[in-house]
Amino acid sequence: MTDEIRRRVGILEVVSQHVTLRRTGRNYKGLCPFHSEKTPSFTVDPEKGFFYCFGCHAGGDVFDFVMRIGSMPFTDARKELAERAGLQIERTPAEDQHAGERERLLRAVAEAAAFYRDQLGGNAGAAARRYLTARGVDQATQETFGLGCAPAGWDHLLRALHGRGFDAAALEQAGLVTPRAGGGGHYDALRDRLIFPIRDMQGRPVAFGGRMLGDGTPKYLNTRETSLFVKGKTLYALDAARQAIRETGEAVVVEGYMDALSCHQFGVRNAVASLGTALTLDQVLLLKRFASRAVLVYDADAAGVDAAERGVQIFDEAALSARIVVLPGEADPDAFLRKEGPETFRRCVDAARPIFDFRLETVLARHDPRTVEGKVGIVDEMAPLIIKASDPVRQSDYARRLADRLSIREEAVRVRLGRLARDKGGASRPIRGEVGPEIEATARAEAERLLLHLMIADAAVREAIRAAVDSETFRDPAHRVLAEAVLTSDAHGADLGRLRERLRDETAVSLLSRFLIAEPPVKGDPTRVAVGCLAQLRRWTLQERIDMLREAHSAADRAHDSARRDALWAQLEEAYREKEA
């Protein structure tokens, strides 16, 4: 079915409804709809059926474009494109049942949202209305975010939705009610709380957060995870913020519901909240679909600082540029906006600290950099951020800046980091000052990328080196995923769509799109260049093996383990012979 949709619906036709395109050679260019830019960097290749933005690196086929522009899952994008193509999607009985169950749950949650809104305006919502007035949440914001109220009784929602045709089993499946212990019926999951609907990217409520209005704990409570709602993959207010995030290229990330509401009410419409919990990689990757950078704005108390520190590593792992603000005083974003106003808040956001600077500042507050013990403690606490840095250039810069701040040799920092990396099972890029690993790692990544580009762009190259290359040739995870898909596919002509379908990694999809649209940056025989890349990668791999063997050999010698030492020396000699061959 997907192949038939691709044949009937051209990517140019779909993209042109959202982007003004101009022809440049065989391709078409325009301003990217996924981030703010003044110079066109968004390119469509109608012949191959792919798009790629050289600014934000969004890429993919017509399905990817519809998913991104509409913030919808693949199934919805396929349905929309099938309708455009005049095709009827045939579903198995199991798929029909799953789709029917999902629609039923969505209807149940939508009915619950309507019930909560009605309660907020009635007698049961008096306390909630007083709370909102005291917190300064205006009527427009209440309506925009669909705020509501859960009455104080045990089963008001259960009885109301039962009267609309929903049984207790369906409401339990939607996370709206909870079974009583011992099997004695059900009760409402949220009671006597101000209600915040949690919505998906289509603006449909899928879950609820509730703030306690009277005495009791916890103060904030979410309905449980369901097939509609996974807390660690959802960001509150992203449906409302996504357009502003695309326009500015930046997302403001806060912790709680009220923080997000206040941001939007005061005009900071690119704000989202992490549902009051530590950020997850899935949440940051979701944000990365719309933002090229992020600012984390957390409370000034110890919990807020801890949350900011925990978020540091996640953003680097996702390769999304991030800065951090800890607001002055004891204010959270909500209180700060109401006291200081949006302009002061924006100035704080503009003055946000880069991740490394923020982390170093907090670590320096815990150790004395004038003592040897303090310097060691600082390096050890900074180590995870540096070792796991996704970019080798950034890793090198971090190590140099840390050495400068502590007034010690950079070599000493690198040796300590390398030892810590080995103690924890090895780093993705071992830090060894004597061989300049940041340069080697960058060169290796470039060689891998060029080799992949040639393999995708030229079938003759692919066939010439197929026997000499496999996915393990590539160290970068996205490169490895893409190489495996290419090597198990014809990867040319009509098979491009199927090649795309083999990929689940978003970075790999972006790379595929780039390599299909851009010409390989080589002159001369591409096969010879590819063979040269392979030879260089092989030399680097052998050198890494030699380095590890030398280190192990030295350790065995220090331990007076002659048997292991001799065995390692034999392996070293073999590795040297292989490298010189």
Is 359 among the domain residues?
A: no
pLDDT of residue 312: 67
pLDDT of residue 330: 65
Distance between CA atoms of residues 553 and 550, nearest Å: 5
The secondary structure of the chain in percent helix, strand, coil, rounded to multiples of 5, reads 55, 10, 30
Same domain, 340 and 452: no
Same domain, 530 and 573: yes
Q: What is the CATH number of the domain that holds 60?
A: 3.90.580.10
Same domain, 442 and 543: yes
The structure tokens 């907020």 sit at 120
* This prediction's pTM: 0.71
* 3-state SS string for 457-497: HCHHHHHHHHHHCCHHHCCCHHHHHHHHHHHCCCCCHHHHH
Q: What is the CATH number of the domain that holds 144?
A: 3.90.980.10
The structure tokens 């949220």 sit at 190
Domain residues for the domain of 405 are 366-432
Is 358 among the domain residues?
A: no
Q: What is the CATH number of the domain that holds 580?
A: 1.10.860
Is 395 among the domain residues?
A: yes
Backbone angles phi, psi at 289, to 5 degrees: -65, -25
Q: How many CA atoms lie within 13 A of 25 on its CB side?
A: 7
The C-alpha angle 309, 389, 450, rounded to 5 degrees, equals 150
Burial 494-515 (b: 16+ CB within 10 A, else e): eebbebbebbeebbbbbbbbbb
Same domain, 441 and 518: yes
Is 451 among the domain residues?
A: yes
**Number of domains making up the chain:** 5
pLDDT of residue 201: 85
Backbone angles phi, psi at 412, to 5 degrees: -65, -40
pLDDT of residue 427: 40
Residues in a beta bridge with 186: 179
Distance between CA atoms of residues 69 and 524, nearest Å: 39
Is 153 among the domain residues?
A: yes
Residue 437 identity: P
- What's the Rg (C-alpha) of the chain? 28
pLDDT of residue 428: 39
Same domain, 412 and 446: no
Residues in a beta bridge with 324: 296, 353
Using alpha carbons, list the distances in angstroms from residue 521 to 24, 439, 537: 19, 20, 18
Name residues whose C-beta falls within 8 Å of residue 470's C-beta, 6 or more positions apart in sequence. Answer: 483, 487
Last residue within a domain, chosen from 170, 197, 225: 225
For the residues of 41-84, what is the DSSP string, one character each?
Answer: -EEEETTTTEEEETTT--EE-HHHHHHHHHT--HHHHHHHHHHH
Mean per-residue pLDDT pooled into runs of 10, the chain (581 residues)? 86 92 94 86 94 92 91 85 84 66 92 97 95 95 97 94 93 95 88 96 93 88 93 93 89 93 96 84 86 83 61 75 82 90 94 87 90 93 80 81 92 85 54 42 83 91 88 88 84 65 87 92 89 89 84 87 89 81 63
Same domain, 347 and 472: no
pLDDT of residue 551: 85
Other beta carbons less than 10 A from residue 129's beta carbon: 17
Last residue within a domain, chosen from 308, 331, 353: 353
Same domain, 386 and 513: no
pLDDT of residue 99: 63
* 3-state SS string for 371-420: CHHHHHHHHHHHHHHHHCCCCHHHHHHHHHHHHHHHCCCHHHHHHHHHHH
Residue 9 host element (H or E): none
Q: Is 194 helix (H, G, I), strand (E, B) or coil?
A: strand
Same domain, 54 and 115: no
Cβ–Cβ under 8 Å, residues 18 and 481: no
pLDDT of residue 307: 63
Same domain, 178 and 105: yes
Same domain, 306 and 387: no
Is 361 among the domain residues?
A: no
Instruction: Indicate if the alpha-carbon torsion angle 68, 70, 73, 79 is positive or negative.
Output: negative
Is 265 among the domain residues?
A: yes
Backbone angles phi, psi at 327, to 5 degrees: -65, 145
Q: What is the CATH number of the domain that holds 304?
A: 3.40.1360.10
| Residue from 209, 215, 213 nearest 276 by CA | 209
Same domain, 446 and 550: yes
pLDDT of residue 429: 43
Tokens of 449: 């990328």
Distance between CA atoms of residues 515 and 499, nearest Å: 13
Q: Is 572 helix (H, G, I), strand (E, B) or coil?
A: helix
Residues in a beta bridge with 30: 42
| Residue from 151, 197, 194, 152 nearest 174 by CA | 197
Cβ–Cβ under 8 Å, residues 517 and 50: yes
Same domain, 260 and 338: yes
Distance between CA atoms of residues 128 and 258, nearest Å: 13
Is 552 among the domain residues?
A: yes
Backbone angles phi, psi at 19, to 5 degrees: -135, 135
Last residue within a domain, chosen from 28, 53, 85: 85
